[in-house]
Amino acid sequence: MNRRKLSTMAAGALASALLIASPLALADHHGKDAYGKRDMSQLCQEFREGTGKFSPEARQERREKYRAEADKRHAEMADRLKLDNEQRKVWDEMQMERRQQHEARAEKWRERLAERCTNQDK
């Protein structure tokens, strides 16, 4: 009886220790090149030339696709909320503010990338 009780307690303690330690052991381990390989020279070259993901046509296409999906989602949500005309105007203003904030963040990102690329050339 004593041995069985001891084994049960030991198994419980071991299981608890494993459960407690597993998030700590695996935290921030996403494998080699989890975030992709970043070749800054190629990225800067594409940025300067306006090719690849920096191509104006490709960016415009992605933006229009995302904008259409977002507009559809927002309209569906407004319908679910059963907004009247005045509330819908406020809702649309809120969405426009979010778009402007996103554009401001994107512009800052472009500025930082341009600065990074000029510093890399030196």
How do residues 73-102 score in pLDDT, each as one tens digit?
Answer: 999 998 999 989 999 999 999 999 999 999
pLDDT tens digits, 47-83: 888 888 888 898 899 989 999 999 999 999 989 999 8
Which run of H or E residues covers position 84? Answer: none
Mean pLDDT (the chain, rounded): 84
How much is the pLDDT for 108?
Answer: 96
Expressed as residue numbers, the domain containing 106 is: 40-121
> Can you give the pTM of this predicted structure?
0.59
How much is the pLDDT for 73?
Answer: 93
Q: How many domains does the chain have?
A: 1
Residue 26 is assigned to a structural domain of this protein: no
Residue 115 is assigned to a structural domain of this protein: yes
Residue 2 is assigned to a structural domain of this protein: no
How much is the pLDDT for 25?
Answer: 59
Residue 16 is assigned to a structural domain of this protein: no
Residue 72 is assigned to a structural domain of this protein: yes
**Is a pLDDT exceeding 80 seen at residue 121?**
no
55/67 Cα distance (integer angstroms): 18
Upper half-sphere CA count for residue 78 (Cβ side, 13 Å): 19
How much is the pLDDT for 17?
Answer: 77
96/91 Cα distance (integer angstroms): 9
> How many other β-carbons are positioned within 10 Å of the β-carbon of residue 74?
15
Residue 81 is assigned to a structural domain of this protein: yes
Residue 56 is assigned to a structural domain of this protein: yes
Instruction: Please check whether residue 104 is in contact with residue 35, taking contact to mean a CB–CB distance below 8 angstroms.
Output: no
58/64 Cα distance (integer angstroms): 10
Upper half-sphere CA count for residue 48 (Cβ side, 13 Å): 12
Lowest mean pLDDT among 24-28, 64-68, 111-115: 24-28
How much is the pLDDT for 26?
Answer: 61
Q: Which two tokens stand for residue 120?
A: 């890399």
Q: What is the DSSP letter of 54?
A: G
Residue 102 is assigned to a structural domain of this protein: yes
